[in-house]
A and B are shown apart, each in its own frame.
Chain A
Amino acid sequence: MQGKASPAAKIFLMTIIFILYAPIFYLVFYSFNSGGSMSGFEGFTLDWYRELLGDTRLLIIVLNTLVIALLSALFATMIGTFGAIGIHALKRSKNSILGLNSVLIVSPDVIIGASFLILFTIAGIRLGFYSVLLSHIAFSIPIVVLMVLPKLAEMNPSLIDAAKDLGASRWHVFTKVIFPYITPGIFAGFFMALTYSLDDFAVTFFVTGNGFSTLSVEIYSMARQGISLHINALSTILFLFTILLVGIYYVISQRSGLKLGGFRR
């Protein structure tokens, strides 16, 4: 480790973080404004939240969002984990497949969304819950792969030989050695997939149909109809939830990170 950062560097960092977070705090702040707009703070109120909670349509959308996030993260984690194991076992084509994987991650959501829309239309899949779920699973898989692969690469290959040597079948090698070893990566992948799904606007916007909506799409359409502090309240809730997820992820990776730190000699 190098010495402490200079005061100038610290101030720079604080400024950047402040600039990044300021709009969010501004938005959160006005979600408690009793005046109807973001132009002047008139007084504290929880009315906007109360109204949100009374809005069953919105509650259903929240539920949809959560269900999509959880299910897509779950499937993506399963598929991505096995995918990563498969890719790890490859020798020659490994790098090209990894390249394809990264391309999926960095390519613009709009393009991915549009291509899913074309795909679903051609395949005759009705736009709605399933189309959203499928596309979320699809764009989460590369993320999971990317989180699990480093763990596999870090694993000493002689552990697998050792397990076989001690009588383990392929299945036992997987359940007793590989899986426990890469669990932190799997969790990291799961939470990443969860946040990606919760966040996603562009892809969902393309592939969702009439009558099905997720929070980010809903916030977008509310914003288009005109400024209302409902948006602020809803965004605040979403923001807090994301922070909660990041917190959980942090705790998990810390815990396994400590143990992992011990692994390395």
Chain B
Amino acid sequence: MRNASIIQFRHVTKQFNDETVVLDDVSFEIEGGKFYTLLGPSGCGKTTILRLIAGFIEPSEGEIFFNGKKINQVPANKRQVNTVFQDYALFPHLNVFENVAFGLRIKKMKKTAIEEKVSEALSFVNLQGYEYREISEMSGGQRQRVAIARAIVNEPKIILLDEPLSALDLKLRTQMQYELRELQRRLGITFIFVTHDQEEALAMSDEIFVLNKGKIQQSGTPIDIYDEPINRFVADFIGESNIIKGKMIEDFLVEIAGKPFVCVDGGMNPNEPVEIVIRPEDLEIRPEGEGKLSVTVISQLFRGVHYEAHCRDLEGNVWLVHTTKKIQVGDKLGLDFNPEDIHVMRFDESEEDFDRRIEQYTEDESLGK
């Protein structure tokens, strides 16, 4: 069987003081050497998952495995996991060198070895020459790098990063996104990265877990999650989207705004009510009378790269459109899209059912051709 998983959650539930359930029957697997992202709105339990992996808290129910061994009761200081905290949690009474050396000193490593490893770790994060600076003399971005160096110097199997970029300004943040991703590739250590910024998640991850209200909504590669969101929450949370009510007439044929359209989804009951997703960048503006839908522009905003327009169709559905063409409020236009731009979502479908169905109808499809 697959034994590459380094961390495994089996039906993990966590509640604090018998109050609300913060994590509700969460199961997932993390493979070695990849960049994972936990993505979700504030309070959905991201930090709680990291704290469970780090060993600061224990699950109320369920099991956590590390390399196949159950580690529910293993204390934090005995786990091969290091954390980069949201506020970095650097030791203010120690300078940069001593902060990074902290873990090695605990391990009673030899002085020369410590010096070597610390300078190696600092050069990994481009902080050579900052050894004897006080933490208070470092900028936000530099502190973040010290925190990363302090984690990687211990050569852990997993590094947990709790929204490490949220305190940085946009530019530095983008730069650090590249650096982090690059660092992960060079080190080959598993990174579990927490963010509530969906763009960051899409840009950096090998695999994303989308969380909401203590449950994993969907997991998969950024492209999978963006193109095939499992439900309204994921579609709404990741990227911008038009989510419109529809009806699945039969396989590969869906009714939207009262009209039938060819699509690429299937495996549902005939005439099942569904929701469909079309991304605003997949909608194309056509002259009035052309395209698949007739709409009226009701608002428009200049966004730099593109215009963002809201258009209303004849059924009253509002469509968000990204276009580079200049349009006017009140214009009557046509909207066009391709069959593969339509993504159909069933109500209350679990991730397993979703995966099974997708597998099945893609097979049907290839058989049919």
Contact = CB atoms under 8 A, between A and B. Distances in A.
Do A and B belong to a common assembly?
yes
Interface of A: 156, 158-159, 161-169, 172, 176-177, 180-181, 259, 262-263, 265
A168 B106 contact: yes
Closest 6 CB pairs of A and B: A262-B136, A166-B103, A162-B89, A263-B92, A158-B89, A164-B76
Interface of B: 54-56, 75-78, 81-83, 85-87, 89-93, 102-103, 106-107, 134-137, 150, 154
A174 to B, nearest CB: 13
Q: Considering residues B54, B83, B85, B93, which has the most beta carbons from chain A within 10 angstroms of its beta carbon? A: B93
A208 B76 CA distance: 52
A166 B150 contact: yes
Contacts, number: 67
A165 B81 contact: yes
B75 A156 contact: no
A165 B82 contact: yes
Contact of B85 (A162, A176, A180, A259): A162
Contact of B89 (A159, A168, A172, A176): A159
Q: Considering residues B103, B107, B154, which has the most beta carbons from chain A within 10 angstroms of its beta carbon? A: B103
B313 to A, nearest CB: 51
Nearest to A165: B83
A181 B93 CA distance: 7
B77 A177 contact: no
B106 A166 contact: yes
B82 to A, nearest CB: 6
Contact of A169 (B77, B91, B137): B77
Contact of A164 (B75, B91, B107): B75
A71 to B, nearest CB: 29
B77 A164 contact: yes
15 contacts: A159-B91, A162-B90, A164-B76, A165-B56, A165-B76, A166-B106, A167-B78, A167-B107, A176-B106, A177-B91, A180-B93, A262-B134, A262-B136, A263-B92, A265-B136
Q: Considering residues A169, A176, A180, A181, which has the most beta carbons from chain B within 10 angstroms of its beta carbon? A: A176
Nearest to A164: B76
Given A158-B85, A161-B54, A162-B85, 7 more contacts: A161-B85, A162-B89, A164-B77, A165-B56, A167-B77, A172-B106, A265-B136
